[in-house]
Structure 1
Amino acid sequence: MHIFNRVKFNTPESVELEFTLAGIGNRAWALLIDYLVLSVILILFLIAWITLSIQLADLWKSIFRDQAGFWLVAIAFLIGFAIYGGYFVFFETLWQGQTPGKRFTKIRVVRDDGRPIGLQQATLRALLRLFDEVLFIGAILIMFSNQEKRLGDLAAGTIVIQTQTPTTSRTLTISEQAKSLSEQLLQIADLSAMLPDDFAVIREYLYRRSAMAPKARTSVALQLAKDIKAIIHLENIPEAVTPDVLLEAIYLAYQKFSNFSHD
């Protein structure tokens, strides 16, 4: 395992993104939180199942006869396993690579190319989780692989990255027009549809635009503005707003939105 191991992605807009891999410590902490949540869910299920079994004891005996106890335990085990696997599939699909534990520890599962994972990747990771945890196979693979992948990550083509915005000493100039527009975007744009990865693309462009050739800068800004407008469902903006100003405003608005969401 490498301390602060980093990976780089090249987006279709030719912007290079760099992320820090989550590391075994953050992943173990996230898993512990998820298991605490899962334990509560499974205990509630067990209480409900026992209560239901007692109330329907005569029905179970008429169906399973002398093997009613065995079948009740077997069914409870299968449902419990479905809850266990379904927990990770449900949250990682719904929250785009995060579970409650991952969200708390600020890590996220993404595909090898940086795109959000889908149902297929989340299911593969959940199905292989038990294998990863037998004899600490997953921990061993994470510690000794360059991209810190467990068996589920290798099969699904995913990696786990840190989601917090890295600190930087680089300066970023924001126009007054963008500052004013950002306040409007908080009211008219669906900023919740943006992913941290989308924000990272905008941030990297704004930091690197001064080093770009004018033609390349114009092309990238236009494409980025078009893509982000579609993501946040933004249609009506003044014609005088340039792509650069819009991206600056979205950058500021998303930061404020994220702060509000975590307060």
Structure 2
Amino acid sequence: MRYNNRFTLSTPESVELEFALAGIGNRVFALFIDYQVLGLILIGHLIVWIFASIQLLDYLTRLEGDFSSVPLWLLAIFLIFNFSIFVGYFVFFEVRWQGQTPGKRLAKIRVVRDDGRPVGLNQAVLRSLLRPVDDVFFIGLFFILLNKQEKRIGDLVAGTLVVQEERDGSKTDILCSERAQQLARELPETSDLDHLTPDDFAVIRAYLRRRNAMTSRSQVEVSMKLAQQIRELIKFEVIPPNMTSEDFLEALYLVYQERSPRFD
């Protein structure tokens, strides 16, 4: 559902999360930064390749044989490597940095899947492979302007959205109750946390960061539904009587944050 430039997405856990679309200005700024960084990398690659090629050709001239086709092969290999670097730059950072590149990080935007989950390797590869198509004659720009979800061709094929990062005010540390901290110390012994994936944690974290913007009724309904599904996933029998579903989700956040700090 679209409201202004915001979308409410329903995750596979049936939890509704609201995101603000990145906007054309932020995306152009991010791409400009990324192309500057990528340009420096490609220039470095060109310098190294020229030096290595000169050394190789100099060596071959001392040998007997016909090596006239070598320069063409070197050029072909160079172009393949260049394309690999171009594609690999976006794939590496978007997977490693949870949907962000250096440019996106500066612009405070990130790529997510259509269901709000973090972007994966498949989505990052598809977006990156189709980026040259989007860049030709600014085709991607026209698709962003004409598509209500502001998707370029790469986003349409990969099933992704580019959204704004949470404002600084919403990125402060999530406040967790003392009951949640106590439960967090017990969970590793009383449940199977190995079944909790980064995607599951991303949904928990997104809910905890956005819960204050929900109505009291929605907050109770969503937290209970999410807590029940996660509880079954990690085989945690019953939430202690003196704790709420909010405490349970906060405890999971604390445990997973400690285990995988790169996700916070």
* TM-score band w.r.t. shorter chain: 0.7 to 0.9
For residues 34 and 43 of structure 1, the distance between their equivalents in structure 2, rounded to whole angstroms, comes to: 14
- Cα contact 2:211–2:219 (8 A) shared by 1: no
Aligned to 1:233: none
Shift of 1:151: 1.1
TM-score (norm 1): 0.72
- The answer to whether structure 1 residue 153 and structure 2 residue 155 are counterparts is yes
- Cα contact 1:182–1:252 (8 A) shared by 2: no
Shift of 1:205: 4.6
Change (3 A) 1:119 1:103: same
Superposed CA offset, 1:101-145 (max 9, x none): 112222111222222222222121111111111111111111111
Letter in 1 for 2:78: A
Letter in 2 for 1:149: K
For residues 219 and 102 of structure 2, the distance between their equivalents in structure 1, rounded to whole angstroms, comes to: 43
Matches within 5 A, 1:124-203: 124-165=126-167, 175=177, 177-178=179-180, 197-203=203-209
Change (3 A) 1:104 1:182: farther
Secondary structure at 1:65's aligned position in 2? coil
- The answer to whether structure 1 residue 211 and structure 2 residue 217 are counterparts is yes
- The answer to whether structure 1 residue 96 and structure 2 residue 102 are counterparts is no
**Structure 2 stretches lacking a partner, 5+ long:** 187-192
Aligned to 1:34: 34
For residues 104 and 213 of structure 1, the distance between their equivalents in structure 2, rounded to whole angstroms, comes to: 32
Shift of 1:10: 1.4
**Structure 1 stretches lacking a partner, 5+ long:** 231-236
- Cα contact 1:199–1:254 (8 A) shared by 2: no
Matches within 5 A, 1:232-251: 242-248=244-250
Aligned residues: 248
Change (3 A) 1:67 1:3: farther
Change (3 A) 1:209 1:243: farther
Shift of 1:146: 0.2
Letter in 1 for 2:17: L
Aligned to 2:50: 50
Superposed CA offset, 1:19-71 (max 9, x none): 01111111111111111111121111111111211222244556862233333
Letter in 2 for 1:210: S
116-125 or 214-223: which moved more? 214-223
- Cα contact 1:203–1:251 (8 A) shared by 2: no
For residues 159 and 245 of structure 1, the distance between their equivalents in structure 2, rounded to whole angstroms, comes to: 31
Secondary structure at 1:9's aligned position in 2? strand
- Cα contact 1:163–1:196 (8 A) shared by 2: no
- Cα contact 1:30–1:105 (8 A) shared by 2: yes
- Name the Cα RMSD after superposition: 4.3
For residues 213 and 5 of structure 1, the distance between their equivalents in structure 2, rounded to whole angstroms, comes to: 23
For residues 154 and 213 of structure 1, the distance between their equivalents in structure 2, rounded to whole angstroms, comes to: 32
- Cα contact 1:202–1:224 (8 A) shared by 2: no
Identity across matched positions, percent: 48
7-16 or 61-70: which moved more? 61-70
TM-score (norm 2): 0.72
